[in-house]
Amino acid sequence: MSLLGEQDLARELATTPAWERDEDAIVRTVELADFAAALRFVNRVAELAEAADHHPDITIRWNKVTLTLSTHSAGGLTGKDFELARRIDALD
Ligand SMILES: C[C@H](O)[C@H](O)[C@H]1CNC2=NC(N)=NC(=O)C2=N1
């Protein structure tokens, strides 16, 4: 999977408004009811990640889950990041 150029990147970002670009990654923080709900959400994300063989960095802070997506093998953002971002968005 090759890195997205600025134009493709802008188009992908426009279709994933819940995600914010942070240099070579896109980031989304999801707020859940409490820590247990955050863990359940992370488990659903983990299933999508395993199915896609593409894995976000995940931080849990009590009821908030921050997901960071980047394609490490390509050194930045690719279509795989946005595909997974859209699948994650479809969870809630
Ligand atoms: C062998 C395996 O396909 C690779 O290590 C995958 C796994 N998950 C991955 N996840 C992410 N975010 N970037 C990768 O480059 C990546 N590579």
Average pLDDT over residues 3-16: 97
pTM: 0.96
pLDDT of amino acid 37:
98
Share of the chain above pLDDT 90, in %: 98
Q: Quick one: angle between helices 6-15 and 79-89, nearest 10?
A: 0
pLDDT of amino acid 82:
98
DSSP reduced 3-state for 81: helix
Mean pLDDT value across the chain? 97
Domains delineated in the chain: 6-90 (3.30.1360.20)
Token pair of 53 as six digits: 């063989």
33 alpha carbon – ligand 1 mean position (Å):
30
Q: Which residues pair with 76 in a beta bridge?
A: 71
**Cβ < 6 Å from ligand 1: which residues?**
53-55, 70-73
